[in-house]
């Protein structure tokens, strides 16, 4: 398992896990619980990732301005990049909601571009 922490300027923190060994899932559980994620959601995430029903998951706490992203095994690089963009969209939505920014025009587009470029630069150094 690898863990990365991205600080999106002073606005948001994203804790990213790349899960390769589900025996180390305790780190993910601790991070999710610290943000208030329910045991039911955690169990669902674990089962979905472990059995290949889902490849990634994001949980955000608007008050703490923090998100946890969990990436499971992917079949290909394009598949992994698709998951990065997809999960960044969830973070973007949480950020906009927390800061009461309407999801239209340029600010959300720039936010998405920034998130994706940060994620790719950090994650793809190790996996792409």
Q: Give domain status of residue 23, yes or no.
A: yes
Is 109 domain-assigned?
yes
Do the domain assignments include residue 19?
Answer: yes
pLDDT value at residue 73: 87
Whether residue 22 is predicted with pLDDT greater than 90 in this model: the reply is no
**What is residue 11's predicted lDDT score, i.e. its pLDDT?**
92
Q: Which of 15-19, 69-73, 123-127 has the lowest mean pLDDT?
A: 123-127
Closest CA to 33 of 54, 59, 51: 59
pLDDT in tens, 47-82: 999 888 899 999 999 999 999 999 998 889 899 999
pTM: 0.90
pLDDT of residue 125: 59
35 lies in some domain? yes
Q: What is the residue range of 73's domain?
A: 2-123
> What pLDDT shows up at residue 128?
55
Position 128 in a domain: no
Number of domains observed in the structure of the chain: 1
Write the CA distances from 9 to 12, 113, 115, integer angstroms: 7, 14, 11
Fill in the DSSP letter of residue 22: G
104 in any annotated domain? yes
Please count the other Cβ atoms lying within 10 Å of the Cβ belonging to residue 128.
Answer: 11
Residue 64, domain member (yes or no): yes
Q: Per the domain annotation, does 60 fall within a domain?
A: yes
């Amino acid at each position: 398992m690898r863990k990365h922490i991205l600080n999106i300027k002073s606005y948001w923190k994203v804790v990213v896990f790349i899960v390769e060994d589900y025996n180390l899932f305790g780190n993910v559980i601790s991070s999710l619980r610290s943000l208030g994620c329910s045991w039911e959601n955690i169990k669902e995430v674990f089962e979905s990732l472990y059995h290949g029903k889902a490849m990634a998951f994001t949980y955000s706490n608007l008050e703490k301005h923090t998100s946890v992203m969990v990436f499971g095994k992917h079949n290909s690089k394009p598949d992994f990049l698709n998951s990065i963009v997809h999960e960044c969209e969830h973070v973007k939505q949480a950020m906009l909601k927390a800061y009461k920014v309407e999801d239209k025009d340029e600010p959300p587009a720039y936010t998405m571009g920034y998130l994706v470029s940060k994620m790719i630069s950090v994650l793809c150094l190790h996996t792409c």
